[in-house]
Structure 1
Amino acid sequence: MDSKKTASLSLFALAWPIFLEQFLRIMMSYIDVFMLGHYSDEAVAATGVANQILVISIIMYGFISVGVQILLAQMIGARKHDMIEKIITNGLIVAFLIGLVMSVVFIFASDSFLRLVGLNEELVRVGSPFLEIIGGSSIIIAIHSSILPILRVHGYVRQAMLVPITLSIINVIGNYLFLYGPLSFLDLGVAGVGIATMAANFIGMVMAVYMLKKYIGYIFTFGKLKFYSKKLLFAILRLGLPSAGENMSYAGSQLVVTAIIALLGTEALTTKVYASSVSQFVALFAIAIGQASQILIGRSVGAKELDKAYNQGLRSWKIGLAIALSVSILLYLFAEPIMGLFTDSETIIQMTKELFLLSIGLELFRATNIILISSLNSTGDVRFPFIVGIIVMWIVSLPFSYLLGITAGLGLVGVWLAYLIDEGIRSILMYRRWRSKVWTLKSVL
């Protein structure tokens, strides 16, 4: 294995392929919403909630990728290349096991999950096959999702980008075949969309395994089980679990918020799905900058260049704010034609436009959290964002969602105001944490 295949990269060189990769990944859910929107609004609502549940499963094995990426970045910066193959092996083993468990859980408990978040029996009937098929193939997603960060941290960001491109193309073709094309006679509906997504993910897994061999020189064999190390596994878990816990807390709180919105009716729930789906596009810029910054800061920390790491964090944050402000304003100005692509309901379009206005402020806070939390994680400072996330999301965000949305009668506007308060408080705390430089004491080396 040629573990010294790494590149010297700039923020832009890393960020734009990551953005495109994440954009195409999100496009898979957009495509599902768009194509199902012409199928039925009930299908949109059911699959939208199902996708929220799937996000939690992705976080469950995604924390391994976080831990592995942080370790690899710091080891590359410190030029400890002999550790790389051992880190990759430990990460893939755990990702495989967690993916296997999640697959079994979704196969047998999809109906229960949908009922748990408050969907009526009709929406459970519609969404259950979708959740069973995609969730049941979690082991496939776990493998290719764990490999792509390994490619990125080594500098192969453009190569990793080919996987979601291929997935998106296959997903579109599959959706068309099952919903409107030659396979529409099967009348599978959302189940057909689930099958198309599962097929796309399988091909993505095959591509990722091939790229890991071609570009990193890594091939998994049973003989490499000797690399299993409690010390390395503990390091991966110590770094990944808090980060995943913060994401898990967010995803879990969103499920509870969804249950609150369900009290407002199917129309409000559908509007929330549309608004959240489109708003993800704004967050993609911050996610790309955050992940690119995480790689650069991790390498700098590994090389003991702490001032360089500090300045990179602030620079990434400022760039992210400027982009988030610009894109969220454009999204509000063009809300009506954009939403017209998804639905003909004038009520839903106008409700969504109100939410996009509030999202101008919301996305500034969200970009701050995404970028600075990624920066803190890359240094090994993972507990602080986790603790803050748990406290603010559950003690502030959820009560305000109910009080403003239901008790005060503001509906979805009240829920969005609660989001604004939540992200705002956390962003202030993350900014102060980065400026304090406490993270300089958290390096894993």
Structure 2
Amino acid sequence: MSATINKKTSLFILTWPIFIELVLQMLVNNVDQLMISRVSEDSVAAIGNVNQIMSVLLITFSVVTMATTILVAQYLGSNNQRRVSEVYSVAVFSNLIFSIVIGLILFLFNDAIFTLIKLPDELLSDAKIYMNIIGGGVFLQGIFMTYSAIFRSNGFMKQGMYISAIVNILNIIGNLVLLNGYLGLPKLGIAGVAISSVVSRLIGVIIIIYIFKKKIKGHVSLKYLFPFPRDIFKRLMRIGVPAGGEAISYNASQMVILTFVNTMGITVITARSYISIITWFSYLYASAVSQANQIRVGYLIGANEEDEAYKKVLETLKPANIITLIVAILVFIFSNQLLGVFTSNPEILKLGKAVLFIDIVLEVGRTFNLVLIRGMQAAGDIKYPIFVGISSMWAIATLFSYIFGVLFGWGLQGVWIAMMADECIRAVIFHLRWKSGKWRSRKMI
């Protein structure tokens, strides 16, 4: 059983459940920082560093999930149900194994990781506590992301949204209980918010597996792994690894940039954590609409309607940029109020306003990149954005973050100027690439 997606399905119908799900995922990822900010700003900075590390490692899961979406859609189209179940099983167990390995790396090498990113000693204790607990439950994120990809490939866009809402509500309740010592429990501080996140995700995994069994035709079972379907695994890697390359490069460069920020003092580190949360609002819509448009473009490319795909990407750019620009400007105007949710520190409020002014231009460039890159991926033009992305992210964003932020002494503003330049330069390059039509005739099926 699967829902119906075709070229007549409106972009709005595809976008809104993805948008809501992203909002809820953002809250799950950042509500810990919001709620712990009432207890300790050092804990906020510690969580911000751990989340940046996690975002790099979680790219491993997205490699599998991205490829799963593509392969499942192909096999559903050919009505090859056994192959569909093989893809489900290989994807789920692959991400389970990857997540166990990641959890062990986080537990065994957290000291080396924190030394590598130059985490200040004042943050080390909180960061280790949070890392160990969240890392221990990282396998839950791997499983959830895989099942969510299966749902989307079957046309069930809303289920992930509903489950994310449940997980978010449970996480907030858990944080309230464990931070305040309700129900006779001790006040656990940063350990409490980490435990709450893991438990809420566990419940989310249980729910999504239950709905999978009720709603989706196909099975996740060890019987599909003996003998191991190597061809399925190879196809997942062949599609997923190149497609995830751009994201891997971005997050790796952000890790290096984080090491520069970590030399600028606790106030700057904390400010960056808050600003990173707030800027989510600026590009949430662009992220959702680009994912929705990727589904639509993929269908058009599969139907050999490249001219229509060309138009749809360009048509998506205009409203996406208008909405992003409006939101980014509003975020700047009301930066004191937004940052005031977390802190009353005047230094952070002043720095945040200056950075969020620069971020207005950055978000426009980011919107172009989100829409155009996902359009090129859907068309099968995967290697070009990886090449450009790696070149620009490291030669511009990373290098000039060091030059502007550290050597010139511009601090966090210098870092944001470098990242803005990277996004805008890539936006111009990818726009020219799309208009040139060099992405045509590269579909993967």
TM-score tier, shorter chain, comes to over 0.9
CA distance in 1, matches of 2:395, 2:441: 29
SS at match of 2:218: coil
SS at match of 1:7: coil
CA distance in 2, matches of 1:289, 1:228: 37
Correspondence 1:8-407 to 2 at 5 A? 8=6, 9-73=9-73, 79-82=77-80, 83-182=83-182, 186-226=186-226, 228-407=228-407
Output one character per residue of 1:260-311: Cα deviation in whole Å (capped at 9) or x when no partner.
1121111011111111111012121111011111111112222222222222
2:136 partner letter: G
Change (3 A) 1:91 1:6: farther
CA distance in 2, matches of 1:110, 1:127: 9
Output one character per residue of 1:350-409: Cα deviation in whole Å (capped at 9) or x when no partner.
110111111111000001111111111122222111111111111221111111112112
- Offset of residue 226 of structure 1: 4.9
- Offset of residue 18 of structure 1: 0.5
Correspondence 1:403-422 to 2 at 5 A? 403-422=403-422
How many residue pairs are counted as aligned between the two chains? Answer: 441
Q: Give ranges in structure 2 of 5+ residues lacking alignment.
A: none
Instruction: Please say if residues 177 and 185 of structure 2, whose CA atoms lie closer than 8 Å, have aligned partners that are also in contact.
Output: no
CA distance in 2, matches of 1:325, 1:134: 34
Change (3 A) 1:311 1:214: farther
SS at match of 1:44: helix
CA distance in 1, matches of 2:100, 2:318: 40
CA distance in 2, matches of 1:281, 1:424: 19
- Offset of residue 347 of structure 1: 1.2
Instruction: Please say if residues 106 and 131 of structure 1, whose CA atoms lie closer than 8 Å, have aligned partners that are also in contact.
Output: yes
Instruction: Please say if residues 90 and 232 of structure 2, whose CA atoms lie closer than 8 Å, have aligned partners that are also in contact.
Output: yes
Instruction: Please say if residues 59 and 247 of structure 1, whose CA atoms lie closer than 8 Å, have aligned partners that are also in contact.
Output: yes
CA distance in 1, matches of 2:284, 2:412: 23
Residue 7 of structure 1 is matched in structure 2 by 5
SS at match of 1:264: coil
- Offset of residue 154 of structure 1: 2.2
Between 1:149-158 and 1:258-267, the stretch displaced more is 149-158
SS at match of 1:186: coil
1:438 partner letter: K
- Offset of residue 132 of structure 1: 1.1
CA distance in 2, matches of 1:86, 1:252: 32
Output one character per residue of 1:209-268: Cα deviation in whole Å (capped at 9) or x when no partner.
122222222321222225853333222212211232211211111111111112111101
Change (3 A) 1:183 1:58: farther
Instruction: Please say if residues 52 and 255 of structure 1, whose CA atoms lie closer than 8 Å, have aligned partners that are also in contact.
Output: yes
CA distance in 1, matches of 2:166, 2:17: 14
2:192 partner letter: G
Instruction: Please say if residues 283 and 367 of structure 1, whose CA atoms lie closer than 8 Å, have aligned partners that are also in contact.
Output: yes
- Offset of residue 75 of structure 1: 5.3
Change (3 A) 1:55 1:202: same
Change (3 A) 1:48 1:40: same
Give the TM-score, by structure 1 length.
0.95
1:290 partner letter: S
Change (3 A) 1:149 1:267: same
Instruction: Please say if residues 74 and 298 of structure 1, whose CA atoms lie closer than 8 Å, have aligned partners that are also in contact.
Output: no
SS at match of 2:182: coil
Instruction: Please say if residues 89 and 227 of structure 1, whose CA atoms lie closer than 8 Å, have aligned partners that are also in contact.
Output: no
CA root-mean-square deviation? 1.8
Instruction: Please say if residues 72 and 153 of structure 2, whose CA atoms lie closer than 8 Å, have aligned partners that are also in contact.
Output: yes
2:79 partner letter: H
Instruction: Please say if residues 14 and 155 of structure 1, whose CA atoms lie closer than 8 Å, have aligned partners that are also in contact.
Output: no
CA distance in 2, matches of 1:210, 1:431: 43
Change (3 A) 1:160 1:198: same
CA distance in 1, matches of 2:437, 2:234: 25
SS at match of 2:309: helix
SS at match of 1:241: helix
Task: Give the % identical residues.
Answer: 32
2:151 partner letter: L
Q: Give ranges in structure 1 of 5+ residues lacking alignment.
A: none
